[in-house]
Amino acid sequence: DIQMTQTPSSLSASVGDRVTITCQASQDITNYLSWYQQKPGKAPKLLIYDASDLGTGAPSRFSGGGSGTHFTFTISSLQPEDIATYYCHQYDNLPFSFGQGTKVEIK
Amino acid sequence: QLQLVESGGGVVQPGGSLRLSCGASGFSFRNYAMHWVRQAPGKGLEWLAFIRHDGSHEYYVDSVKGRFTISRDNAKNTLFLQMTSLRAEDTALYYCAKDKTFRIKGYIDSWGQGTLVTVSA
DSSP B37-48: EEE-TTS-EEEE
Query: Would the CB atoms of A97 and B47 count as touching at under 8 Å?
Result: yes
Average of per-residue pLDDT across B36-65: 97
**Beta-carbon separation of A49 and B50 below 8 A:** no
B46/A38 Cβ within 8 A: no
Across the interface, whether the CB atoms of A44 and B111 are under 8 A apart is answered yes
Q: Is the pLDDT of residue A19 over 90?
A: yes
**Mean pLDDT score of chain B:** 97
B103 to A56, B6, B81: CA distances (angstroms): 20, 23, 20
**Residue A93 exposure: Cα atoms within 13 Å on the Cβ side:** 12
Residue A102's pLDDT is what? 98
* Strands of the A4-7 sheet, one edge to the other: A4-7, A19-25, A70-75, A62-67
Measure CB to CB from residue A91 to each of B44, B107, B114 and give the nearest one. B107
**Contacts of B51 by beta carbon, 8 Å cutoff, 6+ apart:** B33, B34, B35, B57, B58, B59, B70, B71, B72, B79
Point out the residue among B106, B110, B114 whose CB comes nearest to the CB of A91: B106
Interface touch B60/A87, C-beta < 8 Å: no
- Does A103 touch chain B if contact means CB atoms closer than 8 Å? no
Distance CA B108, CA B117 (A): 22
| End-to-end alpha carbon distance in chain B | 40
B47 and A95 Cβ atoms separated by less than 8 Å: yes
Instruction: Quote the pLDDT of residue B104.
Output: 82
Q: Quick one: pLDDT band at residue B103, thresholds 50, 70, 90?
A: confident
B7 beta partners? B21
Interface residue A100 vs chain B (CB under 8 A): yes
Question: Would you state the pLDDT for residue B7?
Answer: 98
Contact status of A62 with chain B (Cβ, < 8 Å): no
